Structure 1
Amino acid sequence: MTALNNLISRVKNIFDRKATPATSAATSAEPPTDISVVSDPRISAAFADMEKYLAENYGTPPDNLSYQDYANGASFFSKDAVFAPSLVILSDSDGLYNLPDNVMMLISATSIKDENWLIEELGKFILFLKELGTTHHIQHFAIGFSKDKLGHPATVQTADVTCIRLY
C-alpha cells in the first residue's frame, strides 16, 4: 500500500504544478466527486467508457468511482474491491518529468483476488486503455516502474516512467 501512496503522491505533484482545480463548486460539506466534475469533454467521455468497462467486466457501481478535475487534466480512482484501477489523463504536462502532453497514466490497480488473477486482468485492462486512447485521441500511455526492491518490495522510492505513443 505504501508503493501505491508514493506513486499517487508523485502523480499529484504533477497536478500541483497547476495547483488550482478547474472547477470550483459551491461551498458544501463534501464537494462532488462524480464524473460531472470533469470539465474536459474528451477526458469525460474517456472516463465514461472506463465506467462502462468496469461495470460490464467487474460489476463496479458508479458509487465506487471518484474523479477530480484539474486545469491540466483529470484523475479517476476506483474503490472497488474486485478490481480498482487509478488513472490520470493529462491534457498538458508542461514538460514535467519529460512527459508529453495528452498522456494517460496508469497509477495503480488493486484487487482482493490473488496476484495471478490481478496480473491477467491488468493485461486486459491495458489493452482496453490502448483502445480507449485511440478512440478519444489520447496519444500517449505511461506506466511507472519501480527499481526499488531493496528492503521491502512494496516500498517505492523512485520510479522510471515509460511512455508509449498509441497512434
Structure 2
Amino acid sequence: MKALNNLNQLLSRVKNIFGRKASPAANAATSAEPPTDLSVVSEPRLSAAFADIEKYLAENHGTPATKLRYEDYTNGASLFSKDTTFAPSLVILTDSDGLPDNVMMLVAITSTNDENWLIEELGKFILFLKGLCTTHRIQHFAIAFSKDKPDHPATVQSADVTCICLY
C-alpha cells in the first residue's frame, strides 16, 4: 500500500510540473512584435536597394538602423524612417496598378532642421536615389508632391506624382 501511495505522489508531482503555465518571460517572447527590420523584405533586389539606402542615411545623416521600419507587400516593399534629422518614406513597387513596373516612389521627407538645409539634402538624396534605381534595375523614379497640407504629411488627401523613366 505504501508503494501505491508513493506512486500516486510521484504522479501528482509530475502532473504538477508539466501542468504549470509558462512563465511571463516565456510568454513575452511569443507575443513580441513582428520584425520590422530589413530582414522582412522578401525580394532580394529590393532588399539590396534598401540596404544601400540604409547605408546612405547612416553615413550622411547618422540615422541608426533602429529608426527604420520596413514592410513587405506582394507587389513591393516600403521604408519609413522615424529619425528626426532626415526622415524619408519610400516605396518600391514591382508590379503596380496604374503605374509602370519597377517604380521607386519618394512619398515624404520630414526634418527638424530648417527649410534651406532640407532642400539641399533633398536634392542630394534625389540624385542618390536616381543612381540607385539604375543600379538595382528600378525603371522609374516617382516623387509625390502634396498641395493639400504641405506642413502636415499625415493628412494629405491627394498628391501630384511626377514619374521619371530612367531607362
**Matched residue SS, 1:60:** coil
Following the alignment from structure 1 to structure 2, what is the Cα–Cα distance between the partners of residues 65 and 157?
A: 24
Q: Cα RMSD between the aligned structures?
A: 1.8
Following the alignment from structure 2 to structure 1, what is the Cα–Cα distance between the partners of residues 56 and 145?
A: 25
Match of 1:45 among 36, 40, 48: 48
The structure whose RCO (Cα within 8 Å, separation 6+) is larger is: 1
- Once the two structures are superposed, the pairs formed by residues 54-133 of structure 1 within 5 Å of their partners are 54-93=57-96, 95=97, 98-133=98-133
**Matched residue SS, 2:70:** strand
Following the alignment from structure 1 to structure 2, what is the Cα–Cα distance between the partners of residues 28 and 137?
A: 38
Whether the 8 Å contact between 2:108 and 2:144 is mirrored in structure 1 is no
> How many positions carry a matched residue from both structures?
137
- What amino acid sits opposite 1:89 in the alignment? I
Which residue number in structure 2 is paired with residue 164 of structure 1?
164
Following the alignment from structure 2 to structure 1, what is the Cα–Cα distance between the partners of residues 115 and 158?
A: 23
Q: Percent identity?
A: 77
- What amino acid sits opposite 1:40 in the alignment? E
- What amino acid sits opposite 1:38 in the alignment? V
TM-score w.r.t. length of structure 1: 0.77
Following the alignment from structure 2 to structure 1, what is the Cα–Cα distance between the partners of residues 105 and 58?
A: 21
| Cα 1:134/1:158, change in 2 over 3 Å | same
Following the alignment from structure 2 to structure 1, what is the Cα–Cα distance between the partners of residues 145 and 68?
A: 25
Following the alignment from structure 1 to structure 2, what is the Cα–Cα distance between the partners of residues 148 and 79?
A: 23
**Matched residue SS, 2:72:** strand
Alpha-carbon displacement from aligned partner over 1:124-146 (angstroms, at most 9, x marks no partner):
00000001100000000111223
Whether the 8 Å contact between 2:76 and 2:94 is mirrored in structure 1 is yes
- What amino acid sits opposite 1:47 in the alignment? F
Following the alignment from structure 1 to structure 2, what is the Cα–Cα distance between the partners of residues 132 and 153?
A: 28
Deviation at 1:158, TM superposition (A): 1.9
Could you tell me which runs of 5 or more consecutive residues in structure 1 were left unpaired when the two chains were aligned: 1-26
Deviation at 1:38, TM superposition (A): 0.2
Alpha-carbon displacement from aligned partner over 1:30-79 (angstroms, at most 9, x marks no partner):
00000000000000000000011011101111111110001100000111
Deviation at 1:84, TM superposition (A): 0.6
